[in-house]
Amino acid sequence: MARFLRPLLWGTTYTRLLHLWVPMLFVSVWLFIDSSKPWVPAVLLIPLGLIPAVRRGEGVQARFMLAPGERDGGDTGFSVAPSAGWRDRWRTVLWLEARLLLGVVAAFGTVWLPAFAVDLVRASLGDRPTGDPVIGLLHPHWSLALLVPLPLLTLYGAVVGLGELTTALARRFLGPSPTERLAALEERTEQLLERNRIARELHDSIGHALTVAVVQAGAARAAGDPEFTASALTAIEETGRAALEDLERVLGVLREAERPVSGRPTLADADRLLESARTSGAKVDAEVSGPVETVAGPVSREGYRILQEALTNVLRHAGNVPVRVRIEVRDGALSLEVRNPLPDGRSGSGRGSGLRGIRERAALLGGSARTGPHEGDWQVHAELPLH
């Protein structure tokens, strides 16, 4: 029983009822002016619904009065944009007419049903109310008191049921149009792409710095040479500073959506990566051909990150091994290749978030990337279009 009556404790039940009563103010004013033509308000709603801004107003009302508890929890299903075309305008007209009709039913029920219950009480006490034609058909008798709960339960069902029906119709007629849904989907996709990009940036820059620091610290401890230890500490310091700069830039992107990405490193800074790998013990043989400095910013920045992740994987999984790096600009494409011997004859799996990030970066630029064993070596090969 308590569960059945629970909607009486919900504020939404009463805000929905109030939402249905609002049009009755306009109807009441009109009936005071000319009660012989009660259909006029319904006709006047047609040109009113064709006004684009009316849809926005109805959407705002629906959000605040039909689903007040959902406003901070996500999409309520009501659009607050003005009508973008005739389809939206006619949907608004249909909604206004439905709201008016349901408002008439709600107003009649909330006035007549309580009055009917009172008349039943009076009739059960021997009085004969004359204002209600239904009561006039009944003879006063004490047994009529048993019928008093019926109009009250009907009132309860009408208030809750009409509220649910109104909310469902509002979501149907005031819901986002296909154009708005597509725009919302595109915005959500852009947000997810941006989050993916930031995740890749953090993985590549911070992961590279930590890998270099760990490798350098281990090598310095094993060497026992003060001069090598000093060189290793210098490399750790430089790599750490670069990582802090990358972290500050990524955090800046999170704080300021319009912040430019021009501060990101490009292939012009590749020497810093190569020197860091050499200082960590890798034997890097680099070959650069073509006008790398003329590569467009987005391609050059993503190429730098691909090279960084490839070198990080070498240091992390292969250790101090010979590494061949080839960077070539030719035929409208940037070609990146990093090869190193597989340690202990292992074949490698080609999996992992770093390798997946390399493939994602290449795909976002319309290029391709291959990662995996090749002719006895581990190879990362990326082809990025320049335009």
Question: CA separation (Å) from 25 to 100, 227, 267?
Answer: 11, 89, 69
Per-residue model confidence as pLDDT tens digits over 239-298: 777 777 767 766 665 655 544 445 577 888 888 888 877 877 778 888 888 888 888 888
pLDDT in the model for residue 249: 67
% residues pLDDT > 70 (the chain): 82
Mean of the per-residue pLDDT values for the chain? 80
Is the predicted pLDDT of residue 349 greater than 60, yes or no? no
Helix (H, G, I), strand (E, B) or coil at 85: coil
Token readout for 66 is 């039909």
State pLDDT tens for residues 200-235. Answer: 667 666 776 777 777 777 777 777 777 777 777 777
Helix (H) or strand (E) holding 377: strand 377-385
Separation in Å, CA 224 to CA 107, 220, 228, 235, 283: 90, 6, 8, 17, 21
Rg (CA), the chain: 36
CATH number for region 265-386: 3.30.565.10
pLDDT for 186: 63
Ordered alpha helix ranges (H), 256-289:
270-279
Confidence at 98, pLDDT banded by 50, 70, 90: very high
Under a CB-based contact definition with an 8 Å cutoff, are residues 376 and 344 in contact?
no
Q: Which of these ranges, 111-125, 241-255, 305-319, has the smallest mean pLDDT? A: 241-255
Query: Per-residue DSSP letters for 329-374?
Result: EETTEEEEEEEEEPGGG------SHHHHHHHHHHHHTT-EEEEEEE
Residue whose C-alpha is closest to residue 204's, from 96, 308, 286, 344: 308
Do 78 and 63 meet the contact criterion of CB atoms below 8 Å apart?
A: yes
What is the pTM (predicted TM-score) of this model? 0.51
Give residue 365's pLDDT.
82
Taking residues 89-113, report their average pLDDT.
Answer: 91
Quick check: 295 and 334 in contact, CB under 8 A? yes
C-alpha distance across the termini of the chain, in Å: 70
Residue 148's identity, in one-letter code, is V
pLDDT for 162: 92
DSSP class of residue 145 equals G
Sheet containing strand 377-385, strands side by side: 283-289, 322-330, 333-341, 377-385, 368-374
DSSP state of 92: H
H/E element holding 160? helix 149-173
* Of the listed ranges 64-68, 177-181, 269-273, 349-353, the one predicted with least confidence: 349-353
- Assign residue 353 a region (left: φ > 0; alpha: ψ between -120 and 50; beta: otherwise): alpha
Residue 323 has φ and ψ, to the nearest 5°, of -125, 130
Give the C-alpha separation, 346 to 302, whole Å. 29
pLDDT given at position 335: 92
Which one has a higher pLDDT value, 159 or 222?
A: 159
More confident residue, 148 or 74: 148
Contact at 8 Å (CB) between 3 and 52? no
Token look-up 């059945």 returns: 4
Q: What angle do CA 60, 63, 66 make, to 5 degrees?
A: 125
Confidence of residue 75 (pLDDT cuts 50, 70, 90): low
Q: Nearest-5° angle of CA 65, CA 27, CA 42?
A: 90
> In this predicted structure, which of 31-40, 51-60, 106-115, 223-232 has the lowest mean pLDDT?
223-232
Q: What is the pLDDT of residue 126?
A: 79
Pairing between strand 322-330 and 283-289? parallel
DSSP designation for 281? T
Which tokens in the block code for residue 243?
């990582």
Residue 317 has pLDDT above 50, yes or no: yes
Task: Return the HEC string of 94-133.
Answer: HHHHHHHHHHHHHHHHHHHHHHHHHHHHHHHCCCCCCCCH
Q: What is the mean pLDDT of residues 36-57?
A: 90
Identity at 147, one-letter amino acid code: L
Of 111, 93, 56, the residue nearest 78 (C-alpha):
56
The ranges assigned to domains in the chain are 1-175, 177-258, 265-386
Helix, strand counts (H, E) of the chain: 11, 5
